[in-house]
Amino acid sequence: MSAAILSAKKSKKASWAALAQVVGLSEVYTTSACLGENQLSKAEADKLVAFLGLTDEVAEALTEFANKGESAPAVSKEPLQYRLQEVIYVYGETLKTIIEEKFGAGIMSAIDFTMDVQKQEDPKGDRVIITMNGKFLPYKKF
């Protein structure tokens, strides 16, 4: 599924933002679905495959439950993924401590979650802005 989508995307010279607009979802979510990390509704999948000229089998695969995180190794060797993991290594305890101070003991949801990636032009080198917005889930006592 993902290989077919990537090939068609390249042939059409379409951006992820353009595919997201066709589907009616965010660029991040649409990309993750195309890479097998999330699922689309039948209507969303049908719009995507119609735009890309792909088969009903690809549309069906897009609607199946995703195995989130299955494609990622424990520590990725891909430089961008490694650097994001490095951010967690360096700032993970800091983030945990600050979140717990502000909210209490709990976690940030990756289910009730949104993410956005923006480019900020800078004369010293363009900047990547990643915004993650997750619902706080307190730990339950029982």
Q: Indicate if the alpha-carbon torsion angle 18, 19, 20, 21 is positive or negative.
A: positive
Report whether 45 contacts 29 (CB < 8 A): no
Whether residue 127 lies in the annotated active site: no
Q: Which of 78, 86, 93, 100 is catalytic?
A: 86
Q: Clarify whether 86 is annotated catalytic.
A: yes
- Tracing tokens 């993650």 back to the chain, one arrives at 132
- CB-side exposure of 56: number of CA atoms within 13 Å? 0
Question: Is 109 tagged catalytic?
Answer: yes
DSSP-derived letter for residue 29 is H
CB 117 within 8 A of CB 129: yes
CA 93-26-76 angle, to 5 degrees, is 45
Q: Which of 7, 15, 41, 83 is catalytic?
A: 83
Q: How far is CA 128 from CA 18, 66, 71, 76, 137, in A?
A: 20, 27, 24, 20, 28
> Where in the sequence numbering do the catalytic residues fall?
83, 86, 109
